[in-house]
Amino acid sequence: MAIKVLHHGLATTVQDLGRPGYFHLGIPIGGAMDRYAMRAANLLVGNDEGAAGLEAVFMGPKLEFAEDALVAVTGADMPAKVDGEERPGWTAFKVKAGQVLSFDFLKAGARICIAVSGGIDVPEALGSRSTYPIGALGGYKGRAIAAGDELPVGEGTLASEGKSVPEELRRMPSNPCELRVLPGLYWDRLTDAAKESFFADEWKVAPEADRMGYRFKGGRHLDFVERKQPFGAGSDPSNIVDSCYPYGSIQVPGGTEPIILHRDAVSGGGYFMVGTVISADMDLIGQLQPHTPIRFVKVDMDEALAARAERARMLAALRESLG
């Protein structure tokens, strides 16, 4: 069974839940930006949560199915169509052999996850099917899909057509979106005024926002506590001796535009970081469009862990609902 790509959309890649274990060599975890949505899509079509699906950003692909399959589209609000006829999101539907799956315009969010019963069956690379385009690793030939590609699909079941994720178990960012941040890392490089304005100001998603990182603009410039730069750090006050970067860490080169590193993060570099977006809010970032207003909200470790537990409860409810 295969899916023929008629149009690639904008940037559509094969993703699963990622490739942990190689960050110390500069190979990031990758995987769906909105993991919860990818898990939900897979569960809807009877796959393991970690099966490979497609992630499409801003614009959906156009796909022709060689055989019958069960499909689910989750994440952003971008209506799916089968031979031009609309299908609901967060719901499993059938696509018959010869039919074409396409998408309407994006209404809300940024990324859809497309799961197909059986999963996209490209070979695993370092334990994952996720695409890491910079390293030409994993996915379909190490790159985003393109018109003419034939995507292999594994053996699936057609049992669960019509299953749907209840409204309260679908998660999308609010507007303005709040991203919870644990201050730390090089937070104390900032002046008290900068520490305050970082959380007080409204920021907007900049056009430079992709799987590697999301950039934000619009807040006040962050000033640094004066110091003599340590040997090897570089001359700019925002420079440090090149260190590792946590996933979700927020660097602010030159003190101007914060960048949150995401699934395809560079593993390290020489910019100071003010803190880290908590694990519970990482999925939300993948659903932010450019120009979306956001606010950083300060939390402590206890609040971060409570939010994480809340996400775990929601995932448990999802599994129960679709199980």
Partner 1 sequence: MPARYTFGGDEHLFVECSDEMSLDAFFKSLSMATGIKDSNIKGVTEICPANASLQVKFNPDIIKPDDILKEVQAIEGAAEKAEPVLTTRIVEIPVYYNDPWTHETLMRFRERHQDPSGTDLEYAARINDFGNVDDFIAAHSGSPWFVSMVGFVAGLPFMYQMVERQRQIEVPKYLRPRTDTPKLTVGYGGCFSCIYSVRGAGGYQMFGITPMPIFDPTQETSYLRDFMVFFRPGDIVKFKPINRDEYDAAVEEVDKGRFSPPIREVKFDLREFSKDIDGYNAKLEGMLNGH
Minimum distance from residue 292 beta carbon to partner 1 (Å): 21
Helix axes 301-322, 35-44, angle to 10 degrees: 10
DSSP conformation letters of 277-292: E-GGGHHHHTTPPTT-
CB of 250 to partner 1, least distance (A): 10
Reading phi first (left if > 0) and then psi (alpha if -120 to 50, else beta), residue 273 is in: beta
CB of 278 to partner 1, least distance (A): 5
* Residues 304 and 182: beta-carbon distance below 8 Å: yes
Residue among 125 and 190 whose Cβ is closer to partner 1: 125
Q: Which is nearer to partner 1, 152 or 234 (CB)?
A: 234
Give me the sheet containing 108-116, strands edge to edge.
12-15, 53-57, 108-116, 69-77, 93-95
Binding site for partner 1 (CB under 8 A): 20-21, 23-27, 125, 132, 134-137, 142, 182, 184-185, 187, 230-235, 239-244, 246-249, 266-270, 273, 275-280, 301, 304-305, 308, 312
Residue number with CB closer to partner 1 (25 or 207): 25
- Torsions phi, psi of 3, nearest 5? -115, 130
Task: Tell me which DSSP letter residue 228 carries.
Answer: P
Cβ proximity to partner 1, 15 vs 276, nearer residue: 276
Q: Which is nearer to partner 1, 95 or 280 (CB)?
A: 280
Size of the chain in residues: 323
Supply the minimum distance, in Å, between the C-beta of residue 130 and partner 1: 13
CA distance 10 to 142: 16
